Every structure is written in C-alpha cells, then in structure tokens.
C-alpha cells in the first residue's frame, strides 16, 4: 500500500509542525499556490510503521550476502555513519567552512593526502559527487590539458568494449567522439587493435584495471607506453581499485588521471542508489586542471581554493564542496584501515574471489576465463546451461533471491553471454562463501531436473517476477488522487490551474 | 582456502601482475586506528566546529528535521542496499522512490519526476543539456544573474565541452528580479531555454508567469529552478504562465536533509510528459508481477548509460537514493499543511527581521520585490568587517555578496528559517547595530 493510500483528510503529525504564525504575508496573491498540494495526510506512527515495513522489503548488505559484481558491496562500518551524524557536523553551513569548519577541513585535507598516496598521484580533488562525475572531471581535465597546449586535433577517446557504460557516456558529455577497442579472448585489451586506433586524433584511453572482466590487464606497461607515445593520456577508472588497494598504485602503472568510487573501495553506503563520491586524482602535469574546491593548508589554517586561485581548473561540479558527509565517512574508514589495512583489503578481496571461483568451477560451473586468476571478482557463464535447459542467467539470478542471497550482476559485461559477474568482497567469511556455493549447486540441480521452478522464480519474495515490458509500455510513474488502481496509465494533467 | 585454490600464499594470487608494479607497496606510514581511537579523533576535530547561530542561506537552509526521518533512513536495509536492479529484492527502495516521484510531481505541478540527480546545481546543468537535446536546433541558454553564482559556475563546467553557450541576463537594480526589458535584446532564435529561478538567489520572487510566456513565445523551454519548500506556499512551475514551465529542477535539501558541510544533498528534476524520454537519471514505474499483484521496477532504462552507452541522456549512474528516502519520510511526516506552515514561518521570520533592521541607520533593504525567506541588505560599513564582528559574538550573520555582486554596495544576503524565533531575530538586529557602531574609527565620527 502506498503512503498516499493511508491518507485520511485532516490527519496530521502535529508535533512536527511549527506553530501557525499570524503575521501577514507580503507575498502577492497571484504568486501563491492556487490548487491544493496533494501530499499524504498521516500520523507520525503511520509514517514510521509504513517506512519501517518498506525497509523490510529490501535485501541489503546488513541482512544478506550481496555479491553484486563491479559494485563492491562490502560491509559499511557503523562508526563511519556515527561520525557523519555528529550534531556539530550536521549543523555546519557550507558557506562557513573556513570560519566554522576547521576540524572538518582538517579531516578532508588528510583524506586528500591519503588518497594521493594510495593512488600514487600528485594531487586529489574531493569535489566530484559520484564515480560518473569523477569520470566527467577526469576526461574534462584531459581536454583542458590538450587545449592548454594548443593541441585541438585530439577529438577521440578510446574505451575498451568491456568498459562500464559510464565511460562512453562520459566521453560524449565531454564532447569527444568515442572509439571502442576490442578485447582479446584471454580477457586483455587487444594491444594490436589499440596500436592501430592510436594517432594524432587520440585524446586519451579510459581503462579499468583490473578490468570489468575480473582480470588484471597484463599489458598495462605496453599500453601506457603506446598511448603516451601517440600523445594521448591515460585515464584510470577506479571502479575496481578494491582489487589492488595498497598493493599496486595506478600512478605506477602510468595513469595520468583517475577517479575513485568511495562508495565502493572506501565502504561508504550505497543507500539504495547513492549518494556516492568520486574524487579525482592527478599526476603532476594534470593537477592544475583539477575541479574546485580544493582543500589547502595555509599557515596552520585550512582553506578552500576556488577558481580565483586555480586559474586552469575545469571549474566547479556542485554548489558547495561535494558530498561532505560521504567524504567524512570515507575518512573514518581510511583511518581505521591505515596502510596495512588497505593492503589487507586487496588481499582478502582477491582471496575470497579466487576461492569462490575455484569452488564454483569444481561444482560444474563454466568460467569465462578459466585460465586466469580472478581479481576481486570473476565471471561465470551459463551459456551451455541455457542451451541445455533454457534456464538463463536472469532466471538463475532470480532463484538466488529465493535462497536468501542477492544476485550477482547479470548481463554485464556485454561481451560474455549469460554471465554472472560475482564479487564477494573481503568482508565475507568462508562460511558465507560456502553457503553461496551450496545455493548455486542447488539451483544448478533444479535447472537440470525442474527448470520451470527456476524460470518462474522468485517464489518467496514480496512480489513474483515483475512485468518490465508493461512497466515501460503502460507508464505509471506517480500516484494521482482518485485513481489508485494499479498499473493504469496515471499521468497527471498539467496546468490545471483553478481560478483564484 | 589457499589449499583449495592450490597456492601457498596470498601473494601468489597476484602473480599475473607485473612484478615491478607490486614490488614496492605503499609505505606503512599509518597504522590503522581502532573504532574508539578514530571516534575520539573525529569528535575532537568536529567538536570544535560550528557553535554559531546562523542567518546564512544562499542555497543551503537550516530547518528542523523530525527525529524519525534519519532514524528510519539509516536502517541498514535502506542504508546498505544498492541501486534496485533486482526489483523483487528491492521493493522497499523502489516503492520509496515511486512515492518520492509522486510527491515531487505534486509539489512542482509537472507530470513526471526522476528518482534524483546529485545536487541542485548539477541538476540545473542536466536540465540545460536536456533542453538542448529537446530543442534540436538551438544551443544557447539564458541564465539570469539572479541564479545562484555557484549554480551558474557548475552549469558552465557541465555544458562547456558540448558547444553550448550561456547568455547572462542582468537584473533590475530596484526590484532585484530579472530585468524583463533586457530579454528584448536577446536573439531568441537561438535560445533553447530560459532559466527561471523562484525565489531567486536574492530571495526575491521573479515574475515567473511573464518569463515562462516569453520562453514559449520564442520557441524555447522554460526551466524552473525552485526551492521545493517554497512551493508549499507558491504557485508551482506547472502553473506558471499560460502553459506552465517545461522542466523544474532544484535542491531537495530543505526537505529533511541536514546542512552537513554542503552535502550530500539531493538534486531533483520533474518535467512535462512529452520530455520524459529526454530526462536523465533513474525512473521507477509501477507494474504487475506474475501473479497480477502491483509492484515497482526501474523503467525506461533505454535512456541510461548502462544500456545506451555513448548515446545515453547522461552518464549519471549513482544518484542520491538515501537522501530521497529521507526527503520522502520528511514530506510524509509534514504533509501539505506542515510544509506550508514551515514555509510561512520562514517568510514571517524574514519579515520580522526586515522590520527590526529597518529602524537601524546604516542598514537598508537592497531590493523592493516581494521575498520568501531571504533578503539582501546593504550596509554602511564594510560587510566583511561586520560579519567578522558578528562571528566574534557567535553569529553567522549572512553571506557577503562582495565578490559575486560587486555592484551591490556592501551587500549582505541574510536568511531566516523557522528555526529562529522572535527573540533570535531581535537579538540579531541589535548585534548588527552594535557591531557596526563599534567599528574602529566610528567612535570618531567617521
């Protein structure tokens, strides 16, 4: 039931409202809302019970194993949240950070330095609000770099065909033409194809390493050399940094600029789809272009540097200083890790992934790259199973939900048919991994003996499989008064302005 | 586990990585801290922050947030779940998003909403790109100077590399709203959209009907940039002018999101239904399950980067899900009546402040136009000195406009929300008077 359907005329949560004020308004009548605002009329208990119950209709890291590949769903330590809910922090106005937020800025300055050290880069900006915005910043910096040198011929960004969709979409947003580079059968970028694509039109290459195929790009040294020799720059998509944190620094691999996903590697919560944070880090020659604001330490005080002091910056990406509350959570996490802890992240994430990959191979699952080591994630392909039983990766994923486990990423990367991209993360125990293998074996058996059971899954969740075609064809995107029957086209009539 | 894999050490699992890359691990400069140690450190640092009574707004507003909002929003089931790709295991998040979309369409009076963008400034940037896509031929955007300067900077960063030009529009020095006569000088044939802020950065209400009609008369879209709380009181964008604004964006921060040093906040976007397929971001729809029961799922994903890649409407992936959850709970708790009362209390507080300072020599209202909960004052003394003096008394007295609007002599942007009562406001006015009076040099009759 929707909160709107709990509504009863005149019911309120009175304690939440300020007293009525009898001062006359100075707003002209013509500017005042004509039609009544249709929001639910409910009590505080109605609200608390409704949303508490809704929360129970979610799978989450706190309640289930969540092996969602490329998303790094590791445990989010509660201390990080406790720090970000300190009342002094919550009350801090963004326009007064230098005057009233020195303690917060000290944390941010240290976070910049830790991220620079762990990535092997010269400088960091915490400004981007998510990974995709970090990518945007990084590619805009590449463009600014070439333009500052008067090199206007570089119109192309190269992206491997296995890349996240954000990479090509970012290239477009930065006004670049996209060119895809194919992947070889061993999962590495086809260096020959890359060499052929490079030229005076190349602005740069965006690369995730380890790649989205769950393997480390072994030719990275040569790739960096030929891209640089062609005058291009190397962008590191930090989506998979968890696999090598504290072990390998992207700077050492030859990357010029990169972004990190703090909501992946630095364990800030995903919150049902955000907020994230996507700091960018730059090598020395790229640092002048970093987005503002930057946190600087000047004579024992922390300051925010804006465009007036950073003449070559690509500019501002948000109204204030980025996702401060996410950054503070990441700071707490990073301090709890320290340098040895950072390395343990990569080691245990890699151990868990390789163990799980081995156990699933033993259980009869096909690996996409059976001769490769897993990074922090790996791919199982159900192509042969589907040919035999008609059970697809999607069916398999839905049946996993019945077994009390969130599903791995399905149908990404697009290169591997019927794929499950599985990322256990470092925070899961061997017992959880073994239970997951058990569930996978059960479903494999069900697919062979009773495929319909798998194809019609899930059976035990609040809803059965949802009709996505209907959702897109008979759009029902908002509740409207008086028409509460489900799944009828319910688009509100705009501009129904009553006379007043 | 190592034995099962068939290796003798964890290091062996990294054997595909060229040795020169792993040979020199980052220096062990820092040991990890325990939870107790890190909390002590952070409390010591953050504990020294803040402590001011604030009259600063400028796009981030202090409001009371009911206790239930964040107690529920930070439940692990909301806090630690991902974007709801597996709909059947994410009905909680999906229904919250659907309810949020419903509330935002009601507030803005438009047909459809997305499930959030990053913040208000970047949402305006996305609206600019969307308007250019929808218009097809025009690539110019009129952005008045009454739009928050940081928003204008952000839009510039976002659209710069796509050959989109921003045209600045000046404001009426007397009223503090867009100088409509200057619109006549804009070559409207190339304009894809006009941005209409309500209330504007100065807190002044814009002539939204005339501006919306101007955009439509010239074949451009009207992008409303609104404070969602103000819409509990003010005419919603869908009702502006003869046909209503086409897109509405803004920051949902006033709806249950704490100031928190500037973020995470919550960009929102709603639009007319015929623009739906140009809208960026996630959208949730209600549908039926295999048993014919209603349920919720992400829909129209063919607009998005994970499907459409380089042809997507935007590169946005992660949005502000948790802030949406908080805002939805906040709006449900307050309802239309509660939000309206908060908005009225803010407005009344500002009127009280303006009344209190009107008696002071050396403090004047900069603009005559009607206002919501912010106003620009001009001071007879250097504004930065006055703000420093107020800080010494434990007050953040507003935002200096010296850098962004040098033409306003000692301009101070002040804000009053429902968190300030009559005593606070009278006390504030008194302190301004005293600080201005006590400036060095004043005693000698400067």
What's the pLDDT score for residue B332? 98
Is there a domain that residue A159 lies in? Answer: yes
Q: Dump pLDDT digits (tens) for B17-37.
A: 999 998 665 566 789 999 999
| CATH number of the domain bearing residue A140 | 3.40.640.10
Residue B220, in any domain of the structure: yes
Chain B neighbours among A 383-402 (CB < 8 Å)?
397-398, 401
A486 pLDDT tier (thresholds 50, 70, 90)? low
Which H, E and C letters describe chain B, residue by residue?
CHHHHCCCCHHHHHCCCCHHHHCCCCCCCCCCCCHHHHHHHHHHHHHCCCCCEECCCCCCCCCCCCHHHHHHHCCHHHHCCCCCCCHHHEHHHHHHHHHHHHHHHHHHCCCEECCCECCHHHHHHHHHHHHHHHHCCCCEEEEECCCCHHHHHHHHHHHHHHCCEEEEECECCCCCCECHHHHCCCCHHHEEEEEEEECCCCCECCCHHHHHHHHHHCCCEEEEEECCCHHHCECCHHHCCCCCCCEEEEECCCCCCCCHHHCCCCEEEEECHHHHHHCCCCCEEEEEECCCCEEEEECCHHHCHHHHHHHCCCCCCCCCHHHHHHHHHHHHHHHHHHHHHHHHHHHHHHHHHHHHHHCCCCEEECCCCCECCEEEEEECCCHHHHHHHHHHCCEECCEECCCCCCCCCCEEEEECCCCCCHHHHHHHHHHHHHHHHCCCCHHHCC
CB contact under 8 A, B118 and A130: yes
- B187 plus B80 within the same structural domain: yes
Upstream peptide bond of B291 is cis (omega within 30 degrees of 0): no
> Which three-class secondary structure state does DSSP give residue A377?
coil
Same domain, B94 and B175: yes
**Could you list the residue range(s) of the whole structural domain that residue B83 is in?**
67-330
Residue B2 covered by a domain: no
**Would residue A467 count as lying in a domain?**
no
For residue A348, being part of any structural domain is answered with no
- For residues B351 and B316, membership in a common domain is answered with no
CA distance A323 to A302: 18
Residue B25 inside a domain? The answer is no
Q: Looking at the domain assignment, is residue A395 inside a domain?
A: no
DSSP tag of A68: B
Mean of pLDDT values over A315-342:
97
Mean pLDDT, range A17-29, rounded to an integer:
80
Instruction: Read off the pLDDT of residues A429-439 as tens digits, 9 standing for 90 and up.
Output: 999 999 999 99
What per-residue confidence (pLDDT) applies to B74? Answer: 97
For the stretch A468-480, pLDDT in tens is: 999 999 999 999 8
The residue-averaged pLDDT of A230-245 equals 97
Residues A84, A89, A93, A98: is their CA dihedral positive or negative? negative
Task: Tell me whether residues B351 and A26 touch, CB distance under 8 A.
Answer: yes
Q: Choose the closest CB to A51 out of B72, B234, B318.
A: B72
- How many distinct structural domains can be found in chain A? 1
Could you tell me if B381 and B294 lie in one domain?
no
Across the interface, which of B16, B80, B263 has its CB nearest the CB of A76?
A: B80
pLDDT of residue B27: 62
- Are B340 and B324 found together in one domain? no
Q: Is residue A25 part of a domain?
A: no
Is the model's pLDDT at A494 over the cut of 60? no
- Mean pLDDT of chain A, nearest integer: 94
* pLDDT tens by residue, chain B, 446 residues: 999 999 999 999 999 999 999 866 556 678 999 999 999 999 999 999 988 999 999 999 999 999 999 999 999 999 999 999 999 999 999 999 999 999 999 999 999 999 999 999 999 999 999 999 999 899 999 999 999 999 999 999 999 999 999 999 999 999 999 998 889 888 888 999 999 999 999 999 999 999 999 999 999 999 999 999 999 999 999 999 999 999 999 999 999 999 999 999 999 999 999 999 999 999 999 999 999 999 999 999 988 888 888 888 888 899 999 999 999 999 999 999 999 999 999 999 999 999 999 889 999 999 998 999 999 999 999 999 999 999 999 999 999 999 999 999 999 999 999 999 999 999 999 999 999 988 765 544 43
Answer yes or no: do B139 and B220 share one domain. yes
Interatomic CA distance for residues B230 and A32, integer angstroms: 10
Tell me, yes or no, whether B346 and B294 share the same domain: no
Domain for residue B37, yes or no?
no
A101 vs B49, B233, B263: nearest CB: B49
Tally of domains within chain B: 2
- Domain span including residue A327: 79-337
CATH number at residue B123: 3.40.640.10
In a domain, A353, yes or no: no
| Domain assignment present for B36 | no
Residue A489 domain flag: no
Substitution target in A169, A178, A398, A437 with the highest count of B β-carbons within 10 Å is A169
pLDDT of A485 > 60? The answer is: no
Same domain, B95 and B175: yes
Distance CA B225, CA B155 (A): 13
Q: Are B298 and B228 found together in one domain?
A: yes
Q: How far is B102 from chain A (nearest CA, A)?
A: 4
DSSP string, A181-225: EPBPTTSSB-HHHHHHH-STTEEEEEEESS-TTSS--TTHHHHHH
Domain contains B300: yes
Asked whether the predicted pLDDT for residue A372 surpasses 70, the reply is yes
| pLDDT tops 50 at residue A490 | no
The span from the CA of B107 to the CA of A61, in Å, is 33
Smallest CA-to-CA distance from A205 within A272, A253, A260, A151 is with: A253
| CA B145/CA B168 separation, integer angstroms | 6
CATH number at residue B355: 3.90.1150.10
pLDDT of residue B444: 45
Q: Scanning every residue of chain A, which has its alpha carbon at the shortest distance from the alpha carbon of B344?
A: A21
* Span A360-377, average pLDDT: 97
For A130, the 3-state DSSP assignment is coil
**What average pLDDT does the segment A96-117 reach?**
97
**Cβ distance of B83 and A50 shorter than 8 Å:** no
Q: Which of residues 63-102 of A touch B (CB under 8 A)?
A: 63-64, 66, 68, 71, 73, 75-77, 79, 81-86, 88-97, 99-102
Residue A403 contacts B, CB cutoff 8 Å: no
Domain annotation covers residue B21: no
B156 lies in a domain? Answer: yes
Res A23: pLDDT: 67
The band of A493, judged by pLDDT with boundaries at 50, 70 and 90, is very low
Instruction: Please indicate, yes or no, whether residues B121 and B230 belong to a single structural domain of this protein.
Output: yes
The last residue of a domain, from among B311, B330, B349 = B330
The answer to whether A472 and B285 have CB atoms below 8 angstroms apart is yes
Return the pLDDT at A483: 63
User: Nearest-CA residue of chain A relative to B26?
Assistant: A246
| Residue A258 parent element (H or E) | strand A257-260
Whether residue B77 is found in the same domain as residue B218: yes
Choose among A382, A386, A379, A384: nearest CA to A356.
Answer: A379
> Which of B273, B304, B330 is the last residue in one of the domains?
B330
Residue A128 resides in a domain: yes
pTM, two decimals, is: 0.96
Alpha-carbon distance values, A147 to A284, A312, B421 (Å)? 17, 11, 54
Torsion of CA A60, A61, A64, A69, to 10 degrees: 100
pLDDT at A464: 97
pLDDT at B441: 57
**Is the separation of the CB atoms in A310 and A292 below 8 Å?**
yes
Number of C-beta neighbours around residue B43 at 10 A: 15
- Per-residue pLDDT, averaged over A227-248, amounts to 97
**In contact, B390 and B396? CB cutoff 8 Å:** yes
Are B269 and B227 contained in the same domain? yes
Domain end marker among B330, B359, B390 = B330
């Amino acid at each position: 039931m929707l909160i709107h359907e709990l509504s009863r005329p005149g019911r309120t949560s009175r304690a939440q409202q300020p007293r009525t004020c009898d001062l006359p308004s100075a707003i002209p009548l013509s500017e005042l809302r004509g039609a009544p605002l249709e929001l639910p009329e409910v009590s505080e208990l109605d609200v608390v019970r409704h949303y508490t119950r809704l929360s129970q209709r979610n799978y989450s890291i706190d309640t289930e194993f969540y092996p969602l590949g490329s998303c790094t769903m590791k445990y989010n330590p509660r201390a990080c949240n406790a720090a970000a809910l300190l009342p002094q922090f919550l009350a801090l106005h963004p326009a007064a950070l230098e005057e009233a937020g020195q303690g917060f800025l000290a944390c941010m300055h240290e976070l910049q330095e830790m991220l620079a050290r762990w990535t092997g880069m010269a400088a960091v900006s915490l400004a981007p609000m998510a990974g995709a915005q970090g990518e945007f910043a990084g590619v805009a910096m590449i463009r600014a770099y070439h333009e500052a040198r008067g090199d206007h011929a570089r119109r192309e960004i190269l992206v491997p065909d296995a890349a996240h969709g954000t990479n090509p979409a970012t290239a477009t947003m930065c006004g670049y033409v996209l060119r895809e580079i194919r992947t070889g059968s061993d999962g590495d970028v086809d260096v020959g194809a890359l060499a052929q694509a490079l030229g005076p039109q190349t602005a740069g290459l965006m690369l995730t390493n380890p790649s989205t195929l769950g393997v480390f790009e072994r030719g990275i040294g040569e790739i960096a050399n030929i891209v640089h020799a062609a005058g291009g720059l190397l962008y590191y998509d930090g989506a998979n940094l968890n696999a090598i944190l504290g072990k390998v620094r992207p700077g050492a691999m030859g990357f010029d600029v990169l972004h990190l996903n703090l909501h992946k590697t630095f364990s800030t919560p995903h919150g049902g789809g955000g907020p994230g944070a996507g700091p960018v880090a730059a090598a020395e020659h790229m640092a002048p272009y970093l987005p503002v604001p930057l946190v600087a330490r000047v004579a024992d005080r922390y300051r925010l540097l804006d465009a007036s002091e950073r003449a070559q910056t690509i500019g501002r990406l948000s109204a204030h200083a980025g996702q401060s509350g996410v950054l503070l959570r990441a700071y707490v996490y990073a301090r709890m890790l320290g340098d040895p802890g950072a390395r343990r992240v990569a080691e245990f994430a890699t151990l868990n992934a390789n163990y799980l990959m081995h156990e699933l191979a033993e259980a009869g699952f096909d690996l996409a790259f059976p001769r490769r080591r897993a990074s922090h994630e790996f791919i199982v392909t159900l192509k042969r199973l589907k040919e035999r039983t008609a059970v697809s990766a999607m069916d398999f994923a839905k049946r996993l939900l019945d077994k009390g486990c969130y599903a791995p990423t399905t149908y990404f990367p697009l290169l591997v048919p019927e794929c499950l991209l599985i990322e256990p993360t470092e925070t899961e125990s061997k017992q959880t991994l073994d239970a997951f293998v058990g569930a996978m074996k059960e479903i494999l058996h069900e697919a062979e003996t009773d495929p319909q059971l798998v194809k019609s899954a899930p059976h035990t969740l609040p809803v059965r499989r949802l009709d996505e075609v209907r959702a897109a064809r008979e759009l029902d995107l908002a509740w409207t008064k008086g028409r509460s029957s489900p799944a009828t086209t319910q688009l509100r009539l705009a501009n129904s302005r009553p006379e007043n | 586990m190592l034995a099962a894999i068939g290796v003798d050490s964890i290091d062996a699992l990294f054997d595909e990585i060229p040795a020169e890359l792993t040979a020199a691990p980052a220096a062990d400069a820092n040991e990890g801290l325990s939870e107790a140690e890190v909390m002590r450190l952070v409390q010591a640092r953050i504990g020294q922050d803040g402590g001011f009574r604030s009259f600063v707004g400028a796009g981030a507003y202090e409001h009371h947030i009911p206790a239930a909002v964040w107690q529920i929003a930070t439940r692990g089931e909301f806090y630690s779940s991902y974007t709801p790709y597996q709909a059947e295991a994410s009905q909680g998040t999906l229904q919250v998003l659907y309810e949020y979309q419903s509330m935002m369409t009601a507030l803005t009076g438009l047909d459809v909403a997305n499930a959030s963008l990053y913040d208000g400034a970047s949402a305006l940037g996305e609206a600019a790109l969307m308007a250019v896509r929808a218009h097809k031929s025009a690539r110019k955007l009129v952005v008045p100077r009454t739009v928050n300067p940081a928003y204008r900077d952000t839009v510039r960063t976002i659209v710069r590399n796509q050959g989109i030009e921003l045209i600045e529009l000046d404001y009426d020095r007397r009223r503090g709203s867009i100088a409509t006569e200057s619109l006549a000088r804009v070559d409207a044939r190339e304009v894809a959209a006009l941005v209409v802020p309500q209330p504007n950065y100065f807190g002044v209400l814009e002539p939204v009907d005339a501006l919306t009609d101007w955009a439509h008369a010239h074949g451009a879209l009207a992008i409303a940039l609104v404070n969602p709380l103000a819409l509990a009181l003010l005419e919603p964008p869908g009702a502006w002018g003869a046909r209503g604004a086409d897109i509405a964006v803004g920051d949902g921060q006033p709806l249950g999101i704490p100031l928190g040093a500037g973020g995470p906040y919550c960009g929102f976007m709603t639009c007319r239904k015929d623009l739906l397929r140009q809208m960026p971001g996630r959208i949730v729809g209600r549908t039926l399950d295999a048993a014919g029961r209603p349920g919720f799922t992400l829909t129209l994903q063919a607009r998005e980067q994970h499907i459409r890649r380089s042809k997507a409407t935007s590169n946005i992936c992660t949005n502000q899900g948790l802030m949406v959850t908080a805002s939805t709970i906040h709006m449900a708790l307050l309802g239309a009546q509660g939000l309206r009362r908060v908005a009225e209390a803010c407005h009344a507080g500002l009127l009280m402040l303006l009344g209190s300072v009107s008696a002071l020599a050396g403090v004047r209202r900069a603009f005559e136009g009607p206002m919501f909960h912010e106003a620009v004052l001009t001071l007879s003394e250097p504004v930065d000195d006055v703000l420093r003096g107020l800080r010494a008394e434990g007050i953040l007295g507003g935002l200096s406009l010296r850098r962004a609007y040098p033409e306003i002599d000692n301009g101070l942007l002040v804000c009053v929300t429902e968190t300030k009562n009559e005593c606070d406001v009278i006390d504030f006015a008194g302190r301004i008077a005293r600080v201005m009076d006590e400036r060095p040099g004043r005693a000698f009759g400067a």
